[in-house]
Amino acid sequence: MIRIAIANQKGGVGKTTTAINLATGLAAAGRRVLLLDLDPQGNASTGLGLRRGQRAHTSYELLGGETTLAEAALATNVPRVDIIPSTVDLSGAEVELADAEGRAYRLREALSEEQAGGRWDVCLMDCPPSLGLLTVNALTAADHVLVPLQCEFFALEGLSQLLKTVERVRAGLNPVLDIIGVVLTMYDRRNRLSDQVAQDARAVLGDTVFETTIPRNVRLSEAPSHGLPALVYDHRCPGSEAYIALSRELIGRLSGSPAKVAA
Ligand code: ADP
Ligand code: MG
């Protein structure tokens, strides 16, 4: 199972939208996907149609060692996409784990091959908007990190902070961690600033930036209120088409990396 953390400490940059639609795009390409909701807001869970009452076991319990992957994973309405949901309980985890032994390694243990038992090809972790212990756990458990970058002012400033954290995790906790790519989100071609940020990002980050850019598209923001990925809600809208292209690009990048997803 290839583990990918979707991270950026800024809120509202498209992490959850990317997690849901990449999960769906990868599943459409035949991969068995586990989506791990690591945000106490539970937007990935809601966006995949999980009602509160269905969240029997959560990522909070997984971090606390009170449940296992096998027990916590729930099927969604999307074929080949399972989810481990989150609830607001998770907001306490940062504090509760603060002094725990091996606190940064909780997820790595929970997501080990032994625990996953060959049930999934890919695990996508939807991180919260902070660089706290939850994100550090995700980065420590991950083979790769994928960074959504919103095409707006200050986008690159926030990125350097994230890259420092990735560097620290690599140095101290998880030497194999790499950045599989930065995806530009909410790109508006009529907006000059959006275009400028996209150009700057490509100039600074080069090939790290995915060729696929996710456009600003209202269908992407409507879909979660129906409990559906945009790829299911309206698979032909520009946003869905972009996420399908991104899924393909990601599979291509992963197949070139040591931990292969393209089976
Ligand atoms: P994050 O998880 O980083 O906080 P979200 O994925 O929840 O970000 O996105 C923030 C808001 O923007 C949500 O309301 C979402 O529906 C909307 N959104 C995300 N991506 C797009 C897009 N490409 N076009 C239009 N709206 C988007
Ligand atoms: Mg989110």
Predicted confidence at residue 257, as pLDDT, reads 62
Which numbered atom of ligand 1 lies nearest the CA of 214? 23
Atom of ligand 1 nearest to the CA of 43: 7
Q: Which two tokens stand for residue 52?
A: 């509160």
Q: For residue 21, what pLDDT band results from cuts at 50, 70 and 90? A: very high
Contact yes or no for 208/181 (Cβ under 8 A):
yes
Distance CA 1, CA 3 (A): 6
Question: Residue 262 has which token pair?
Answer: 């393209």
The residue count of the chain comes to 263
- Kindly state if the Cβ of 14 falls inside 6 Å of ligand 1: yes
Q: Is the dihedral of CA 149, 222, 233, 83 positive or negative?
A: positive
Give the angle subtended at the CA of 160 by the CAs of 149 and 122, to the nearest 5°. Answer: 50
Beta bridge partners of 211: none
For the cut 60, the answer to whether the pLDDT of residue 259 exceeds it is no
Predicted confidence band at 101 (pLDDT cuts at 50, 70, 90)? confident
- CB 201 within 8 Å of CB 179: no
Which domains does the chain show, CATH number per domain?
Answer: 2-179 (3.40.50.300)
pLDDT tens digits, 111-141: 999 999 999 999 999 999 999 999 999 999 9
pLDDT digits (tens, 9 = 90+) for 155-175: 888 899 999 999 999 999 999
Burial class (CB in 10 A: 0-12, 13-18, 19+), 27: buried
CA 28, 5, 214, 77 dihedral sign is positive
Q: Does the Cβ of 16 fall within 6 Å of ligand 1?
A: yes
What ipTM was assigned to the predicted interfaces of this complex?
0.99
Structure letter (DSSP) for residue 214: P
Task: Give the residue whose CA is nearest to atom 26 of ligand 1.
Answer: 221
Q: 262 falls in which pLDDT band (50, 70, 90)? A: very low
- Residue 118 three-state SS: coil
Q: Determine the residue type at 69.
A: L
The answer, yes or no, to whether any atom of ligand 1 lies below 6 A from the CB of 11, is yes
Between the CA of 15 and the centroid of ligand 1 the distance, in Å, is 7
Q: What is the pTM of this model?
A: 0.96
The residue-averaged pLDDT of 39-62 equals 93
**135 CB under 6 A from ligand 1?**
no
149 SS3 class: strand
Please report the pLDDT score of residue 260 as a whole number: 45
Tens-digit pLDDT profile for residues 248-257: 999 999 998 6
Helices of type H across 48-105: 59-63, 69-72, 93-97
Give distance in angstroms: CA of 12 to centre of ligand 2. Answer: 7
Phi and psi angles of residue 52, each rounded to the nearest 5 degrees, phi first: -50, -45
Q: Is 46 in the pocket of ligand 1 (CB under 6 A)?
A: no
